[in-house]
Structure 1
Amino acid sequence: MGLGRSAPTHRRGEDRGAAVKDVLQPYVDRVRQAFGDPRVAATVSDALERTLRDTLTRDGDEYFVITGDIPAMWLRDSTTQLWPYLRMLGGSRELADVVAGVLRRQFRQIGHDPYANSFNPGPTGAHYEPGDLNDDPWVWEQKYEVDSLAFPLLLAHRWWRATGRTDVFDDRAHRVFRTVVDQFRLEQRHEERSPYRFVRPGAIATETLTREGLGTPVGFTGMTWSGFRPSDDACTYGYNIPGNLLAAQALRHLAEIATACWDDAALATDAQQLSAEIVRAVAEFGVVEHPEYGLIYAYEVDGLGGTLLMDDANMPSLLSLPFLSPGLVDPEIYARTRSFALGPGNPWWFSGRAASGVGSPHTRERRVWPIALAVEGLTSGSPQRQRELVDLLLATDAGTGRMHEAFDVDDPSRFSRPWFSWADSMFCELVLTVAE
């Protein structure tokens, strides 16, 4: 079934105004009190207001969310862009309504195409690459990423817990939740059963899938397959470990909602069982012996002996596991994995005159990501290190007052994406966590 709506016609930010700004102010004041540097509070205030004002467009009872300087809505980004506001929902019906509108849009998008990662505001026919195999006019890009289905479930669960409301959990949402479980289960046996293919003619290896769009070979493990990473780069091996653990966490949330809101014991049981299967498979196939660090989580495996040891700046990452999947991580294995990810053993960790941190094959070498620096802080457990990372993020914004996609570790004035709303929100999440 199609999305069934025209492009949003309401002006961005027109109905949020002073009421929501009043909700933000106490949090900004708390930041101002917690940090001696007034620039911290100013940067947080600007970012929180900018996301609400400039990224969201109302369409009836839904909200379309652009990711910043790209005019499309990613299921992942539109969730993480709202993360800092979730602590505020109990004090603002207006803000809770905004998140509800984003959820409705996400559910509509998943129902339209559960393999797509990003969508247009209407059937515009815009595409990141017009030559892609998929030509659906609603779809900006159809890179299948496990986290695209998992993140909206985390958002729905947080919204429900914070507000006690169930109005977004209508019949369509019920069908979408069933779709997510069915697709995760189908993609456990990607080789035999999957209808998904992604072909980008003439693209570099990270922008297309091998074997006429099927991807590199995988064996059955119990994990669910993903064509692409959260960075939108093609997986080297089809079982992305942080993506699978995020999916397992999301399935637990799904089961809880299915029981409480629809009294659907069958859906809840299926989701719980699938979550348990994924966790067992990660323990069996996704934990490997590193010659220096010992037992750590791999980044990707294929169930056939192939193992990729690295971490990527994008969430879900290995570094982000306690933040996104807190009940599913072995603390000792994570501690060793963290040491690996934040050091030279990780081929995408860089250190220079201005900063050290995790980068990505998605961007140039020797570039670190503010998202990864914020995640390092959120998972560090050290208030001192968190404050150091806040200072570092401010010192490397090239004087723009915004967080970017990536910057050069020796020269932060060399950066990519002047407006990346997800990075802004992760900075806000770190600062608000420290202030709390």
Structure 2
Amino acid sequence: MHFRLRDIRLALIFSSIVHSSQAQCPDYTTYSQTPHDPVSTGPLALPFMRPTPACRTFNSSAVEKVIMDMKSLMKDPDLARLFENTFPNTLDTTVKYFSESENLAFIITGDITAQWLRDTANQFAHYHSLLAVDPKLATLVKAVINNEARYVSQYPYCGAFQPPPESGLAPSHNDWADGVKVNPPVSNQTVFECKYEIDSLCGFLKLSGSYYQATKDSSFMNTNWRSAIDQIFRVINEQSQGTFDENFNFISYYNWTGGGGSLSPMVNNGGNGEPKAYTGLVGTHHRPSDDLSIFAFLTPANAMLSVELTKLANVLDSVGDLRNVSQQAKTWSSRISDAIYKTTIVDNIFAYETNGLGSRYVMDDANVPSLLSLPYLGFLNKTHPAYIATRKLLLSRGNPYFAAGKSFNGIGGPHVDPWNPWPMAHISAIFGTDNDQEIMQHLYLITNNTNGLGLIHESQSIYNSTSYTRSWFAWANSYFAEMILDLADRKPGLILKQNKSYKPGQP
């Protein structure tokens, strides 16, 4: 008994020390807006932007090893510093809650205290090769999947969520959701925001599939997960239907009014969006950028859905479970892919959005999934003629959301404005080419435009190099680091001292 009491006292003292240490940690939103020493030895003198070890929200020895490896291997100390800041950013700053015993984790996007299905999948994408060598990191990802499975099984049309009750964290008030009506209705104690974006469900599938691929652990496929998968197919079936049946009866399963304090205006036609005809594609009310879709069938989101459904079928076949779901996934994947090639390409150019009634919108948005990111998504090869032609158009005035200034250019979107391109689009462009010159141009447009802060921002003005949005945007940091690791493997001679491929997680 005395031994147990002593252990309890020690635990309380340790908990008090940890709580006190965390209480002294600066808010990273503020911390990320000011450069910190030591600076890199390159001409940009980029700052060191990681929190102190005591203030990091999750620690991984495997992640630290990759950072040390890359710092020793990379040619450019400024680029190495950018990798050092971005690669661990998700673990350093966004793990708001993690309980191995509860199998739950709550991951924020950065400066917004909510868990987005889309963001989380991408925030962890560059760690997948490490899951097999870092069991604790794998356990964290598994807990993220389980938490999201609970969200999706209850609210499959929603994309952003509050902390789980087990965390003891209070729900955040979302001013942007005030006055917004959603049908079916949602609880703001669970849901942070309920815009319907099909790529959010793709993100959940992506995280699940990559976890299994890395670990071969199928224990994540619990009751919560199976229920979530059922709900995903419910949404696919509902949102692939046309607006009217053969007798012009109006079909609606979900609507979102917008308005109030929302950043996005009301979805037209009573919250149901523009009319669409059946094509085999799946409609979505909002884009990955949170902006309204003009036409319901968003090509890159459907491309991602097709890819992730194939991966889902492969996982289920490997495990030997849910054969009917696997067949359903294969059928929908093929149907969606066929519809993309049949209904979205005109004169060798992919449309960003279509409606099945002849209307098409040729543009691109910086957020992933995008047309520029089709090779990254795994939908097609970067040498595909339609991708090459579309890419050329997207990176020119032919894309209404392409803009260029003296020191920065690229693709943005209406989420900010047309004259603020996003570094994320340059990352997608690098994944989509094998041309060394193009890769280096895109890479240094990013590297030279962090406003001296050594992090990847949401957007950057073409008029003013010191004007940007979101100093703390974890997804963009992860995507950049993922791209650097891709180059270290695919094009090592461009960024490494020796032209020898580097793959994290390998001896």
Give the alignment's TM-score, normalised by structure 2.
Answer: 0.78
Establish whether residue 88 from structure 1 lines up as the match of residue 130 from structure 2.
yes
- Distance (whole Å) between structure 2 residues aligned to residue 18 and residue 235 of structure 1: 35
- Distance (whole Å) between structure 2 residues aligned to residue 274 and residue 328 of structure 1: 21
- Counterparts of 1:244-259 in structure 2, within 5 Å, are 244-259=302-317
- Distance (whole Å) between structure 1 residues aligned to residue 224 and residue 418 of structure 2: 43
Letter in 2 for 1:359: G
1:208 positional shift = 2.2
The one-character-per-residue Cα deviations of 1:273-295 (angstroms, maximum 9, x if unpaired) are 11111111112211123xxxxx1
Which residue in the other structure is 1:126 paired with? 173
Which residue in the other structure is 2:89 paired with? 50
Which residue in the other structure is 1:232 paired with? 290
- Distance (whole Å) between structure 2 residues aligned to residue 282 and residue 151 of structure 1: 20
Q: Which is worse superposed, 402-411 or 128-137?
A: 128-137
Query: Measured at CA, do residues 328 and 37 of structure 1 come closer, stay the same or move farther in structure 2, by a change above 3 Å?
Result: closer
Letter in 2 for 1:396: N
Which residue in the other structure is 1:186 paired with? 238
The one-character-per-residue Cα deviations of 1:214-263 (angstroms, maximum 9, x if unpaired) are 11111111101100000000100000000111111111112122333352
Establish whether residue 395 from structure 1 lines up as the match of residue 448 from structure 2.
yes
The answer to whether the 8 Å contact 2:106/2:144 transfers is yes
Identity of aligned residues (%): 28
1:391 positional shift = 2.4
**Candidates 2, 24, 28, aligned match of 2:67:** 28
The one-character-per-residue Cα deviations of 1:296-336 (angstroms, maximum 9, x if unpaired) are 11000011111100000000000000111335888111111
- Distance (whole Å) between structure 2 residues aligned to residue 50 and residue 334 of structure 1: 32
Which residue in the other structure is 1:109 paired with? 151
1:385 positional shift = 3.2
Q: Which stretches in structure 1 are left out of the alignment for 5+ residues? A: 1-9, 290-294
- Distance (whole Å) between structure 2 residues aligned to residue 132 and residue 67 of structure 1: 22
Which residue in the other structure is 1:364 paired with? 417
The one-character-per-residue Cα deviations of 1:8-46 (angstroms, maximum 9, x if unpaired) are xx9889999799442123322343244322222222222
Q: Which is worse superposed, 192-201 or 154-163?
A: 192-201
What's the secondary structure of 1:390's corresponding residue? helix
Query: Measured at CA, do residues 207 and 201 of structure 1 come closer, stay the same or move farther in structure 2, by a change above 3 Å?
Result: closer
1:76 positional shift = 0.3
- Distance (whole Å) between structure 2 residues aligned to residue 184 and residue 217 of structure 1: 17
The one-character-per-residue Cα deviations of 1:140-171 (angstroms, maximum 9, x if unpaired) are 11111110001121121111111111111112
- Distance (whole Å) between structure 2 residues aligned to residue 389 and residue 403 of structure 1: 13
What's the secondary structure of 1:367's corresponding residue? coil
The answer to whether the 8 Å contact 1:205/1:234 transfers is no
The one-character-per-residue Cα deviations of 1:320-377 (angstroms, maximum 9, x if unpaired) are 0011133588811111111111111111111111122111111122111011111111
The answer to whether the 8 Å contact 1:370/1:404 transfers is yes
Higher-Rg structure is: 2
Number of residue pairs matched? Answer: 422
Which residue in the other structure is 2:371 paired with? 318
- Distance (whole Å) between structure 1 residues aligned to residue 172 and residue 478 of structure 2: 29
RMSD, aligned α-carbons:
2.5
Give the alignment's TM-score, normalised by structure 1.
Answer: 0.90
Which residue in the other structure is 1:337 paired with? 390
Establish whether residue 170 from structure 1 lines up as the match of residue 250 from structure 2.
no
What's the secondary structure of 1:140's corresponding residue? strand
- Distance (whole Å) between structure 1 residues aligned to residue 55 and residue 207 of structure 2: 20
Which residue in the other structure is 2:403 paired with? 350
- Structure 1 residue ranges, 4+ long, deviating more than 4 angstroms after superposition: 10-20, 202-206, 327-330
Query: Measured at CA, do residues 417 and 205 of structure 1 come closer, stay the same or move farther in structure 2, by a change above 3 Å?
Result: closer
Query: Measured at CA, do residues 338 and 34 of structure 1 come closer, stay the same or move farther in structure 2, by a change above 3 Å?
Result: farther
What's the secondary structure of 1:32's corresponding residue? helix
